[in-house]
Amino acid sequence: MSFAYFAQFASFASSRRVVRRGVVACAAALFSVGAVLADVPKILDAPEGAASITPADAPALKNPKMKWAPKNFAKDPSVVRFKGKYYMYFSIPPQEKDGGKYGWTTGIATSDNLVDWTFVDNLLPTQECVKKGFCAPCARVINGKVYLFYQSYGTGVKDAICMATSDDGVKFTPHPENPIFRPNGPEWTNGRAIDAEVIFFKGRFLLYAATRDPAGKIQKLVVATADADSDLGPNAWKQACDDSILQPELPWETKCIEAASTLERDGKLYMFYAGGYNNDPQHIGLAVSDDGLAWTRVWDVPFITNGPKGQWNASESGHPGVFVDDDGQTWLFFQGNASKGKDWYLSRVKIDWDAAPGVDGLQVPRLVEE
């Protein structure tokens, strides 16, 4: 299915923003999905003829050190190091052990080496807002606790971002006033919010989520902010835009940008994001920002794409989850499959960073063989 749509995009090449009603607004332009837009801002040119920055059959992708899923199905990884152990949170489909009573939930696994994972359990719904399901977690260690930001699932436009906390990384207490965030602005969003991402940057918390246009067809990103000393509950978050901060404009992004995953390096915020819906195929792109609100793509091709036919990730490499270890090493977790979604595995690659030639202050990632 293909269709044209009207949308707005920011000319981030000059980092120009129009501010109204106290939020960031984007300058208007019209385009059709799938059209090649010569004026989509980017910072660097990709190598001539390259479909992606990382070759699709790079050894680290073709034969990954980690390819894991309980019962061959897991999505949406998020990893933290907590009390001397690695914890991975991820989306997991209805489990036979639960008697099929629940929809998608959030799984937990632990590891000592980021390669071998032990499935611990899956969380079960305890609130009305997530009774049909909850998934796509974002885990953060804040003030000695694991904060889990996740979406309610299965309620269509009512899906929203929720939060829970844990002292041990396994048993979570949901915020009593969940959900904590959904976007508003009937001219550009239908109010749905999924794929939470939270980061502390320049003195405040930023929450990214994916929403859709009023017709429910185009997936795009929204951002909210919260004060450093807030409880991160529903009264803490203030929507910081009245249009999408990043939305599909390039052919490989098809009709979807989702799954923002961020890290800070030397005062800049870098965002790995998923371009394209699941199995479109979905790819992983990269954007950068000085303030967390205005974003520019680093390249106009994916950083990581799906693999060639016969490779384990031939259908997609998607939903990134970046993790920076205590020693500063960057690891990029992601999901992939070769079956158009009949199974799904979680994997990860090791990332180093280099100074971008000719662009002061910009760093670019590259895969490192282990």
The whole-angstrom separation of Cα 120 and Cα 88 is 10
Q: Which domain holds residue 306?
A: 43-368
pLDDT of residue 34: 36
Q: What is the pLDDT of residues 3-40, one digit of tens each?
A: 222 232 233 333 333 333 334 443 323 233 334 455 89
Q: What 3-state DSSP class applies to 94? A: coil
27 in any annotated domain? no
34 in any annotated domain? no
The whole-angstrom separation of Cα 333 and Cα 261 is 10
Q: What is the CA radius of gyration of the chain?
A: 19
The whole-angstrom separation of Cα 107 and Cα 123 is 6
183 in any annotated domain? yes
74 in any annotated domain? yes
Q: What 3-state DSSP class applies to 364? A: strand
88 in any annotated domain? yes
5 in any annotated domain? no
Pick from 284, 257, 270: nearest CA to 347: 284
Backbone angles phi, psi at 120, to 5 degrees: -95, -55
The whole-angstrom separation of Cα 208 and Cα 221 is 7
pLDDT of residue 18: 32
297 in any annotated domain? yes
- The total of other beta-carbon atoms located within 10 Å of residue 100's CB is 9
List the structure tokens of 340. 């158009």
Pick from 66, 102, 108, 61: nearest CA to 89: 108
pLDDT of residue 38: 56
Helix (H) or strand (E) holding 61: helix 59-62
- The total of other beta-carbon atoms located within 10 Å of residue 36's CB is 10
Residue ranges, the chain, pLDDT below 50: 1-36
- In this prediction the pTM is 0.91
6 in any annotated domain? no
Q: What is the pLDDT of residues 96-145, one digit of tens each?
A: 777 777 899 999 999 999 999 999 999 999 999 999 999 999 999 999 99
Q: Check which CATH number belongs to the domain holding 76 and give it.
A: 2.115.10.20
Asked if residue 303 lies in contact with residue 330, where contact means CB atoms within 8 angstroms, the answer is no
Residues 6+ apart with CB under 8 A from 184: 191, 239
Count of domains forming the chain: 1
